[in-house]
Amino acid sequence: MRRTAVFGAALFAAAFLLFAAQPMVGKQLLPRFGGAAAVWATCLVFFQAVLLLGYLYAHLIGSRLSVRTQVAVQVGLAAVALALLPIAVAPEGGPDDIESPALAVLGALAAAAGLPVFVLAATAPLVQRWFAGSGHPRAADPYFLYAASNAGSLAALVLYPLLIEPQSDLTAQEWAWAGGFVLAAVLTAACGLSVWRSAGRPADPVTPAPPTGADRWGWVWRAFLPSSLLVGATTHITTDLTPVPLLWVVPLGLYLVTFIVAFGRPPAGLLRWAAAALPAVVLLVALAPSLGLGPAAQLPVHLLGLFAAGLVYHGELARLRPPAAHLTEFYLWVAVGGVLGGAFNALAAPLVFDRLIEYPLVLVLAAALAPVRLFGAEFARLNRILPVAVGVFAGLLLAGSESNEPGTVVHRERTFYGVLRVVRSPTGRSQALFHGRIPHGRQPRADDPGVRTLPLTYYHPGGPAGQVFEARDRAGRGRNPFAVVGLGVGTLAAYAPPGSAVTFFEVDPAVIRIAEDPALFQYLSDARARGVDARVVAGDGRAALRRDDARYDLLVLDAFSGDAIPAHLLTREAVELYLDRLAPGGLVLVHVTNAYLNLKPVLGAAARDLGLVARVQREVPPEAEARRGAAESEWVVLARSEPDLGKLATDPRWQPLTADPATPAWTDRYSNVLRAIRWGPE
């Protein structure tokens, strides 16, 4: 096998494993931290940080130790990491401080995957440095091997959701990943052995001048911009535009493609024209809302902006790369920029901004700093002024875009879990809570408590939720305690009669503050005023239920209407927990309204495996009800036996929910979101 093939295979394998590890450990985190988009962003920051540490380590040993010692140290670290495999995040426990669970996520990741991921992260710069000292004809410019590394990352990104996740559970994935780690370690050792005869540090005949402070700063900010845009665009697309499952794959894939193109052999003029087009694309992004483009139509515009920025700034990094003698330092400072970009969006921005302002801010900055070279040297000033002017204009457009949204924002708050808005309707007759584009409850604004406590949206009295509460009342169980996972604005408290008790479990402290504030919503305060024991427990629903020893007559799961589906709340183990917290004759009611996912087969398979009976109803409210605030919804009810369903068992609106025997139930070790995606109308 040719030497370049061995080096390329080692880089491909290491990068593939790095990117396969991210979604794998992300799934392992679900039982502890839930499925918020911020969890994914924090995972991304963790892997960027470990990549930085790996690059720092590679730079230190690559510049101070002989090739033989480098090989021995790297192989030795890989051997130690083998003892920690397979990597697995403990499913129990959770963040002590739910206001800032990012540190808890980072700690869990470090304990489970820190050293193996660190070893893989160091592989790319070390192996390229070894190649630089190999005497190969292409050794003077080993950066072409970076394309193999990014190709491995892209392959893992595509194959994980399409092939690996649907065909294997976490146990199989963890052991397959461990086997891949062994292969990557062997390939890395083979690369080291091929240059073993090098007696000293790899060096050019004439040592080039070291990078200056300006060089290092240039590498950092050029890596910062596309990294920040990656996280910002992904968050914006999956919360404010089209919350389609697995859509995060597309921005990350485009980001990697720009690396491959920039450090490969890009077509002549491509990067020059990308720089000229970037300000125009950012301007198009800013104009999209005022042009009347819907969310789906805006999606390719934002992706084009990310792709153009990636091409421009990764192309600049490739153009400014130093001689091979300073390769590891170059990658180190590029990693610094990448970490800072991700950390700015995932960690700093939620503490500083009350909305997703970091994305348009960096987008405008990327446009203003674009190295436009449309005109000759005699017009150099115009080349600089043009992108700055376009960037400033785009920034003004983006700053005013929020004024176009219907209604009035009366409250805005941002936490680890996202941006929440309380919006008053244009008529002023109601207020609603939104997370991105997803509504989480609406309440009439009236002085009369009888009007004010009317349940709206998915929970209106004539809908499936209202029918279940009516059936409980008729069966004489209306005063029995019930619990709700997912608070929203506390709408279901309206169904609690005086003297009864209801417990809400909510993971986002901001949602609790909003629902508890009588100036915003009164479902909870009005329930307490009429003698209801309305309790709110902070924490992830599953973890909080595990700690709770109460028994409930009805358990409502209302955490599935957003884009980040908490799969850990739908697994067989989760349903077993619900049954354990359910009083004899009790019901589990699950809200499965979702434009993109069909969760009915998932619940049907769990019911089949656990011997439960299940009914489902999809309700489109009459026009008169819709005008009063009712919304279309879909619900599933689970019971231990037919008699437990009461009148619902004979209600024709509730149809039996069965599962294909070939459809596996989701477990804490297996889920298949791809299979649950709605590919068309049912």
In this predicted model, what pLDDT tens digit does every residue of 96-111 receive, in sequence order? 445 556 777 888 888 8
Range picked from 131-135, 222-226, 665-669 for highest mean pLDDT = 222-226
First and final CA of the chain: distance in angstroms?
52
Query: Is the four-CA dihedral 412, 343, 15, 4 of positive or negative sign?
Result: positive
Both tokens of 245, joined, read 């499952």
Better-predicted residue by pLDDT, 263 or 35: 263
Which of the four CATH numbers 3.40.50.150, 3.30.230.70, 3.30.1490.20, 3.10.129.10 does domain 443-676 have?
A: 3.40.50.150
Question: How far is residue 486's CA from residue 503's CA, in Å, rounded to a whole number?
Answer: 10
Distances (CA, A) of 635 to 406, 412, 469, 666: 29, 30, 13, 19
**pLDDT tens digits, residue range 298-320?**
888 888 989 999 999 999 998 89
pLDDT higher than 70, residue 488? yes
pLDDT tier at 552 (50, 70, 90 boundaries)? very high
Question: How far is residue 610's CA from residue 14's CA, in Å, rounded to a whole number?
Answer: 41
- As a whole number, mean pLDDT of residues 575-602 equals 90
Q: Does CATH place domain 1-202 in 1.20.1250.20?
A: yes
pLDDT tier at 681 (50, 70, 90 boundaries)? low
pLDDT higher than 50, residue 202? no
Better-predicted residue by pLDDT, 543 or 587: 587
User: Closest Cα to residue 594, out of 634, 647, 554, 555?
Assistant: 634
Question: How far is residue 458's CA from residue 631's CA, in Å, rounded to a whole number?
Answer: 5
SS3 103: helix
Distances (CA, A) of 673 to 154, 343, 414, 538, 669: 20, 28, 27, 27, 13
Which of the four CATH numbers 2.40.128, 1.20.1250, 1.10.3210, 1.10.3470 does domain 213-404 have?
A: 1.20.1250
Report the chain's mean pLDDT, rounded to a whole number: 83
pTM listed for this prediction: 0.81
Both tokens of 157, joined, read 């990104």
Percentage above 70 pLDDT, the chain: 86
pLDDT higher than 90, residue 356? no
| Site of tokens 């030795």 | 76
Residue 150: the pLDDT is 85
Question: How far is residue 150's CA from residue 608's CA, in Å, rounded to a whole number?
Answer: 43
Residue 247 burial class via C-beta count within 10 angstroms: exposed 0-12, middle 13-18, buried 19 and up: middle
Q: Which 3-state string (H, E, C) describes 224-286? A: HHHHHHHHHHHHHHHHHHCCCCCCCHHHHHHHHHHHHHHHCCCCCCHHHHHHHHHHHHHHHHH
The answer to whether 105 and 39 have CB atoms below 8 angstroms apart is yes
The answer to whether 146 and 324 have CB atoms below 8 angstroms apart is no
* Domain 213-404 in the same topology as domain 1-202: yes
Residue 211: the pLDDT is 87
Which ranges of 369-455 does DSSP label H, i.e. alpha helix? 380-399, 449-452
**pLDDT tens digits, residue range 620-664?**
998 888 888 888 899 999 999 999 999 999 999 999 998 888 888
Question: How far is residue 661's CA from residue 556's CA, in Å, rounded to a whole number?
Answer: 26
Better-predicted residue by pLDDT, 595 or 420: 420
- As a whole number, mean pLDDT of residues 555-559 equals 90
- As a whole number, mean pLDDT of residues 193-217 equals 70
Domain-wise residue ranges, the chain: 1-202, 213-404, 443-676
